[in-house]
Amino acid sequence: MPQGLVHEPIAKDLPRLVENRRSNQAIDDGPHDPQDYQHTVPQHQQVGARLMTPLILTRYTIVSALGKGLTETYQALRNRRSGLRPCDFEDVGITTYIGRVDDVEDVFLGGGATSAELERFDCRNNRLALLALQQDGFIQAAIEARERYGAHRVAVILGSSTSGILETEHAYNRRNPATGALPSAYLTSHRYTHNMFSSAHFVRTYLGLRGPAMVISTACSSSAKAFATAARFIEAGFCDAAVVGGVDSLCLTILYGFASLGLTSCAPCRPCDVNRNGLTLGESAGFALLEKSEEAGRPGAVALLGYGESCDGYHMSHPHPEGTGAIKAMHAALLRSALTPGDIDYIHLHGTATKSNDSIEDTAIHSVFGPSTLCSSTKGWTGHTLGAAGVTGAVIAAMCLTHSFVPGTLNTTRIDPSLCSHVMMENREQQVRRVLSNSFGFGGNNCSLIFGTV
């Protein structure tokens, strides 16, 4: 048993821990019964979850097919305007829709005294990252954190599933016809573009940061896990603040790969619909600046309250049919934040619109929360942004908290009657205090994040 993890009955521990959020006592990741709703988690090994001190999202931003920055994103959600369109990416010959970000091709990474250093990072993924950094005053907030703590005390922890793979695809198309050799320019640029560390390397270089840096690649949970990792880094004293988030951009491998698996829809995706027939791929980039509440706390600020992670490893691409890994992740997030299922006002679903994934996530949510907690998927707006799905969900969760707003499930016309959770189709105006956001990836890489206001 890991040091510091104490397995005790949850019913005895939880009231005490709710009263003392800053306690470092750990509690058992076992079942509990909010609002008299009885549920159990069969065949699960119990997992300890240490209470965490809330971390403030001092600044956050997002760029996706919905628009650039928080205002455009919120207006698109509020007006139920989807960002999905027929696939027009390069010469892709697939009948499908995509969530493509406009103007990425026009972004210039150079300029100023560091122009040559930045230009070597030039690729679609890093252009998309820069586009997001430029929104909502994020760059200035990161600079202020650098000045407050020192460049070596601000980490950069991001998620991405494919990084700059498009540059490698283009390089293969430009191979020497006689020898098959890749272009020489690509051989020197690979470490700054396709290399998985590329996005963190670029962001820390652009922002002048020198703290710990890494990129997590766990498929669709990547940028959600960046929040969890940053929380551990701050708790361990490796850094005082962290730029977290993720970026994933469209590429040929992803579009053709998902199509070959039979997972893409020829129309805009319809999460949780009885006639759903596949996902819609998209791209996005988002960032948040995480700091300790005593340094950045203010009334009404959005905070990361808890996180939960699991890896069930059931299958390379298919989640466990009983949702065991998802259940573990959600339980751990609740326990780490000292909350019960009844404390969650809204669940932002992973909700990819494939038959199996929506059904299995529903099974997991019903097991933990029962039939009453509001939930919805926003993939009908943005598409599935893969490694950036976690940060996209995090920013949408933050907007729910600050705007007293819950988005419905766009494009869905009839909820699958086999689903047991309370899936919303229409937007709703209501006070939201706490949101759980799910991100589930290939290989059973699961992450659940809980956000609330302080």
- The residues annotated as belonging to the active site are 220, 350, 384
Cα–Cα distance between 9 and 15 in angstroms, integer? 12
Picking from 233, 253, 241, the residue whose alpha carbon sits closest to that of residue 164 is 253
Is residue 437 within 8 A of residue 378, CB to CB? The reply is no
448 - beta bridge partners? 308, 438
Cα–Cα distance between 226 and 242 in angstroms, integer? 10
Structure tokens at 374: 């509001």
Residue located via tokens 């039939």: 371
Is residue 386 within 8 A of residue 248, CB to CB? The reply is yes
What is the distance in angstroms between the CA of the first residue and the CA of the last residue of the chain? 33
Is residue 356 within 8 A of residue 451, CB to CB? The reply is no
Cα–Cα distance between 65 and 187 in angstroms, integer? 32
Please provide the DSSP assignment of 82-140 as one string: ---EE--STT-----EEEPPTTGGG-----STTHHHHHTT-SHHHHHHHHHHTSTTHHH
- Within 218-317, where are the H helices? 222-236, 252-260, 293-296
Structure tokens at 173: 């198309």
Picking from 289, 440, 428, the residue whose alpha carbon sits closest to that of residue 364 is 440
